[in-house]
Chain A
Amino acid sequence: MSESNVPSASDSPSSPAPKRERKPTPARFLVSPVTLWIDFLMTWVIKVGGIGVIVAVIGIMVFITWQVLPLFSGASIQPHDEVKMTMPNPAVVGMDEWGELPFAYDGDRTFEFYDAHGKNPPQKVTIALPEGEKVTATRYFPEKYSLVIATDKGNVGQIKVRYDAEYKDGRRTVVGRAELGTLEPLIDLPAEAAAEANPATASPAPAPGTPAPATPGSETPAAPAPAPTPATAAVAAQTSTKITVIDRGAGESNALVGAILKVGEKRELRAITFKAKRSIRGAGKMTLDQRYDLTGQLKAAPAQLLVPSTADALIVADDSGQVSYFFQDGDKFELRQSFQPFADSTGSKAIARMDFIFGDVSIVFSGENGQSRVFSLCIPAENNPEQKRIFALTKEFPPLAGPATFFASSQRNKAFLTGSGKQASLRYTTTETIRWEKNLDFDIRQGIIGAKYENLAFLDASNVLHVYELHDPHPEAGFNAFFGKLWYEGLAGPEYSYQSTGGTDEFEPKLSLIPLIWGSIKGTLCALIFAVPIALTAAIYTSQFLDPNLKRIVKPTMEIMASLPSVVLGFLAALWVAPRVADRVPSLLLILVLITLCPLLFGWIWNKIPKIYRLWMRPGWEWSLMLPLLVVLCVIGWNLGPYFEEIAFVYVDPNTGQRYADFGLWWKHTTGGGYDQRNSMVVGFMMGFAVIPIIFTIAEDSLSNVPAGLRSASLALGATRWQTAWEVVLPIASAGIFSALMIGLGRAVGETMIVVMATGNTPLMDFNLFSGMRTLSANIAVELPEAPQFSTHYRVLFLGALLLFLLTFVVNTLAEFLRNHLREKYKGI
């Protein structure tokens, strides 16, 4: 193909071509079409390929950003179905996991299941409630698909709502069922008149107003609960006494039912505890343990009641807006805390609603004026002398338009749906953000969040259930979550905290990246503190004083260090250095001091000795004296360390009076910080191996590139070599040295394996040199293999990668510009 070209090229000078212009060029002088064609093709291949590669490389950032973006988007909601409910004024509406078969419960004995797509007629289910008994109070637990009901005869029972898939003619249909468990006569309804007239004899339970703590009449627990005599029950049925609020919580081995009774005009608070009999096969059946009347401990009439799933407490709101937190302590209920969520409110302090957030640790209080506050159980540091677990105001949301008329909490995360009138608002507790808020076209009577957090439903005044599709894959994310200080459940105050996975469903992911960023900064600083002095002094010496013949060996040797795989450095740091150094910190400190001071001292003494001996040493070979000196100093420092420790770092055990020369103990008791074997100091030291050669090479280059004329001029004017280096060369090369530092920093920030291996990987935020840390890069390496694709966790790790990318990219670009600037500046000299 290109053979034609070679002769033409060699022939052309010999031919007197340009004389006869009209004549066409002979074919042998023409470039072969194949050549032209290949040239054309290759031009395009290279252009397309080249641009493609560059785009692909830069596309890395685009791709990572694309993966991260969904974290910052809010919730979006699409209308999906409308279901007309035939039941007038349902007391409870609920929905199955898929949003296919919502149900309504009339608050007595009828359930109706509606096909969301309107294909099948509603299924009507009646529960087996004895004739003549009426349900007076219910509470629905969406996460368990169960209801607890209380009847006008003082019986309490549970209703289970079940969704069973059935196959008919090869098609899957979901059938809704509701079943009532056994009704237990738990609450004796006192006859109004009798209760008031003769408190002592009316019923086995203590009369209202009995001073706290209210325990059953007898000291011994009434194990098989004395059922209310038919007489009392009959009396109760005739009076206006009824249970108005009921709630139940069940733990592993205990359960608690709380109820508010209306006795005439008065209201009473009752609690009934259950215990599970322990057997070999785990917890057995719950049996009634004790009954309590807690009315006497309240200042006003109880209005609302919550029992957490731990079944060890009652949270009661009364008419005055006061909330009482009763905690079960052994066999009595202690009023642990009493607080007013809206004490600072200028208007009504009353509580419109109070509801648990998923996990039953936080309560959302809605005020009469639409305020929305979250109180969580924690052990606050302030105003809490006994260090008890009490409620504290942790979040405050923007107020609603009016008192909250409905509430639903998610069963997947800490989101809740609330609103007032037409307004609906989906909020996320942890991040204190509104995920979605809108005024709908109808008055909302009830709201539902689907079990999978994939749909929402609202019941309007005309009994139409509006089902919406909810698209909010990352509710727990957001700027606030990543970079803000948040008050997580159970913590004593707002914190930067990172803990992406937990053991339970109720776990609240803590996604603050600040501890990780801090870890990265800490590791980098440690590395730079160790590496910069060595790298820079070595660079200055190599470029200014070292024998140029040696430079050819020294530079590649240092570059070899740069190529050491970081996994090797990490392994050595963790398994070789850390255990050896753990007990030898004083030795290291001693060595540090010695190798800084001794060369200075050595140089000073060297200058004092007669010239004749000094000339023996060729300039540029000073380091060869330093090598043995270094070894000697290290040996001395290492062996003197324990004695130094006995002098400087002594810890006296206050109990035994025994004196310990132990740096770790001393550090713990003097600074209060921890002392780990794998600590920042070890990381800094090992990361130094990775950073030193980078800083050294670039700094040395920029120092060597300072025009020789400047140095010669300085020397010619009588400056000593140090003066020349310090006063002339260094200032000129400073930009280059700075860029060397930045590139070193970039390398240290992104270093992964050393940090993974040589630190404990705990996301701490402290200044302690002897504790571990977790860096952004290590966090990715440790957690990404386990993070499910497209989960919040996965995207958060991508966000970490994006931060690393941007950080190093910006730092490196800045360094590059500085270097270019320097190069341009001294081009002429």
Chain B
Amino acid sequence: MSKNPEIKAVGTAFQSGSRAGENFVWLTSMGLAIGLTLVTSLLALILWEGLTVFWPQRVAVFQLVDGSTAGIAGKTTLAGEVVDYRTKVNHVIGKAFEQEYQLFVGNKDTYGFNFKFVDANAIKSKEYLNDYIVAERLENGRLIGVPVAIAMKDGSTIPANSPEFAHKLEEMVTGYNAQRAKILRIEKYRIGDINYEMEGLRLQEKGVRRRAAGDKAKEEAGLAPIREREAQLKKEYEVLAAEAKALRDGLVGNNLVLRLAGGEEYRQPIGAMLEFYYPNQLGFFGKVSMFFHRMWNFVSQDPREANTEGGIFPAIFGTFVMTLLMSVAVTPFGVIAAVYLREYAKQGVVVQLVRISVNNLAGVPSIVYGVFGLGFFVYFVGGNIDHWFFYESLPTPTVGTGGIMWAALTLSLLTLPVVIVATEEALAAVSRGTREAALACGASKWQTIQRVVLPSAAPGILTGLILAMARGAGEVAPLMLVGVVKLAPSLPLDTTFPFIHPERKFMHLGFHIYDLGFQSPDAEAAKPMVFATTLLLITLVVVLNLGAIMIRNHLRKKYAAGTF
């Protein structure tokens, strides 16, 4: 497959001075340049926008020119992170183009907004003052201001200029964070378990009543143990609820007193602070450690405030579990179908037609699979299962509604053609000699396939599977129909019996992007989160694809070298 002679020929023609159409060659080279630029700039954009989300920005303090109305509530001092500096669009002919700043001013509860645009020519001075603090809070986004003092519950205060201030604040925030984690453990896991069991009891009760069919004695006998357990659970619940309440009460009382940029005083309950830092005091290494700290929080925490703050752990987990379930479903069926088509079926027109059809199914829009998944899996299969096994909880559907299992099955149908085609190609690449050698050694057909053909085709099958996973992980449209939600209360895999909950709805990275970008109340504030999520999803998909490409290239080399 060497192309050297051609290249030489091209070179000769080129050197000989005949250059007809040479400018068109340049035009086509522009096509490639555009294509490459598109890919690289898109990836670079996502990388840049996604990573800068985690990088702590400095807080700039702007002094506006006297009498300017560009500030907030008539004040002439503004503090915030500079998000953008751009040329203002101006359509009136004859007016000069002006520049403006976009600032992230935070303090949404005080200002009513997060972002503020300020004309560059309204600004008198810009400086980075060291005493500014940025605090992450449970609600209302970030807080930007100058700390004044800590007002303790008992009335004492610790002024910000006292040496122990930062240390004390740090200690309190850490303490409260631990306390909140404890509350979460109680409320989510222990009380959650009780609720789960109570729900089960309620269904049992319904079942007993239905089976008793009006027979009072039978009904009473059936209900007695349920009532007993219910009372017990209720008692447990009350103890836990009291414990949680005590912890919760301990969170309030201590406030951080700040002065906002405009001079307004603001009291922030320390119990609602997650962390704080002095952005303008951070050195490079401080920023780097902050960067990784934030990145870790992003991938490990639950989302807060309608998904616009906090992390995306449930979405990562949901995507992972769904993709895994999908792979488990798609691999055996895909491989069996391919083995049948390649090894067992009589090669002829029919098999050729089937092959083309299967191939073309890969080009059918994903939404069509979603429609099928909703109609068949969710309504038809799920509806019937509900009727047979979960009659008690009807009309509330148990599996007759979207869930992670249906999503995984739908996506496995979607990716089935990919796996079948890849496996078939891999099987076809196993040389005839290898097969015949195995058969000549007395192996049965299945033994040949099992021990010789499939192992040598395994890397090819793996490539197909990885491609399928990449496609499945990035697909959103069908999932919207079969069980993805913007906020799932619980994970599809947890510590509550029976541990795997295939009927649960789940969160997904791709849907998270859609939801944040389009359904969130403040799209601008959600943007950093969307970019970070996008970066994660893209990384996942690109890594999977690169893996597949590398395996494929490796295989090519192997087959090119080994001739039988």
Using CB atoms and an 8 Å cutoff, list the residues of chain A in contact with chain B. 2, 5, 8-10, 12, 31, 35-36, 38-39, 42-43, 45-47, 49-51, 53-54, 56-58, 60, 63-64, 67, 533-542, 544-546, 548, 552, 554, 556-561, 563-568, 570-572, 574-576, 583, 595-596, 598-604, 606-607, 611, 615, 619-620, 622-623, 625-627, 629-631, 642, 646, 650, 658-662, 665, 688-689, 692, 696, 708, 711-712, 715-716, 718-723, 726, 743, 746-747, 749-753, 756-757, 777, 780-781, 784-785, 789, 797-798, 801, 804-805, 808-809, 811-813, 816-817
Contact = CB atoms under 8 A, between A and B. Distances in A.
B523 A750 contact: no
Contact of A2 (B19, B21, B447, B477): B447
B130 interface: no
Contacts of B358: 54, 57
Interface in B24-53: 24-40, 42-43, 45-46
A804 B367 contact: yes
18 contacts: A9-B443, A42-B446, A545-B25, A545-B28, A563-B542, A566-B477, A572-B534, A599-B29, A658-B92, A659-B94, A715-B9, A721-B25, A722-B20, A726-B21, A752-B365, A777-B367, A780-B367, A781-B480
A558 B39 contact: yes
Contacts of B94: 659
B299 interface: no
Interface in B190-214: none
Contact of B14 (A554, A559, A619, A650): A619
Given A629-B33, A816-B356, 7 more contacts: A534-B38, A565-B510, A583-B89, A658-B92, A720-B18, A804-B364, A805-B368
Nearest to A7: B442
Contacts of A808: 360, 363-365, 368
Interface stretch (B261-269, B304-312, B513-521): B513-521
B476 A57 contact: no
A540 B31 CA distance: 9
A692 to B, nearest CB: 6
B13 A49 contact: no
Q: Which 3 A-B pairs have the closest CB atoms?
A: A750-B365, A50-B340, A537-B31
B165 to A, nearest CB: 40
Interface stretch (B65-73, B138-146, B230-238, B369-377): B369-377
A623 B33 CA distance: 6
B514 A753 contact: yes
Contacts of A749: 365
A564 B541 contact: yes
Nearest to B378: A789
Given A538-B32, A606-B22, A567 B474 contact: yes
A660 B365 contact: no
B14 A721 contact: yes
Contacts of B371: 64, 780, 784, 797-798, 801
A536 B26 contact: no
Contacts of B26: 599-600, 602-603, 606, 622, 626
B28 A568 contact: no
B42 A689 contact: yes
B187 to A, nearest CB: 30
A50 B514 contact: no
Contacts, number: 389
Nearest to B23: A603
Nearest to A711: B6
A623 B94 CA distance: 40
Contact of A64 (B372, B450, B476): B372
A716 B9 contact: yes
B560 interface: no
B452 interface: no
B9 A567 contact: no
Contacts of B359: 812, 816
B217 interface: no
A753 B476 contact: yes
A768 to B, nearest CB: 20
Contacts of B226: none
Nearest to B552: A556
Given A64-B372, A607-B22, A777-B365, A576 B474 contact: no
Contacts of A726: 21, 24
A626 B13 contact: no
Contacts of B29: 541, 545, 599, 622-623, 625-626
B441 interface: yes
Nearest to B527: A575
Nearest to A719: B13
**Interface of chain A: mostly helix, strand, loop or mixed:** helix
Contacts of A63: 372, 375-376
Contact of A560 (B357, B369, B372, B542): B542
B13 A721 contact: yes
Interface residues of B, number: 117
A779 to B, nearest CB: 9
B444 A31 contact: yes
Contacts of B545: 559-560, 563
Contact of B93 (A12, A537, A571, A659): A659
A43 B32 contact: no
A38 to B, nearest CB: 6
A578 B190 CA distance: 47
A512 to B, nearest CB: 20
Contacts of B477: 566, 752-753, 756, 777, 781
B184 interface: no
B251 interface: no
Contact of B514 (A570, A619, A623): A570
A537 B97 contact: no
Interface in B425-484: 441-447, 449-450, 470-471, 473-477, 480-481
Contacts of B537: 565, 567-568
Interface string B322-359: 00000000000110111111011100000000101111
A743 B367 CA distance: 17
Nearest to B3: A548
Contacts of A560: 39, 43, 542, 545-546
Given A603-B22, A720-B19, A630 B38 contact: no
B9 A557 contact: no
Contacts of B470: 563
Contacts of B441: 9-10
Contacts of A559: 545, 549
B18 A718 contact: yes
A571 B356 contact: no
A809 B19 contact: no
Contacts of B523: 575
B474 A46 contact: no
Contact of B24 (A600, A629, A812): A600
B74 interface: no
B97 A623 contact: no
A53 B30 CA distance: 45
Contacts of A42: 446, 449-450
Nearest to A716: B9
Given A534-B35, A619-B11, A607 B19 contact: yes
A646 B93 CA distance: 7
B530 interface: yes
Contact of B22 (A542, A720, A789): A720
B163 interface: no
Contacts of B17: 611
B30 to A, nearest CB: 4
A743 B365 CA distance: 11
Contacts of A534: 31, 34-35, 38
Nearest to A602: B26
B365 A574 contact: no
Contacts of B534: 568, 571-572
Contacts of B320: none
B331 to A, nearest CB: 12
B56 interface: no
A10 B441 CA distance: 7
A560 B456 CA distance: 26
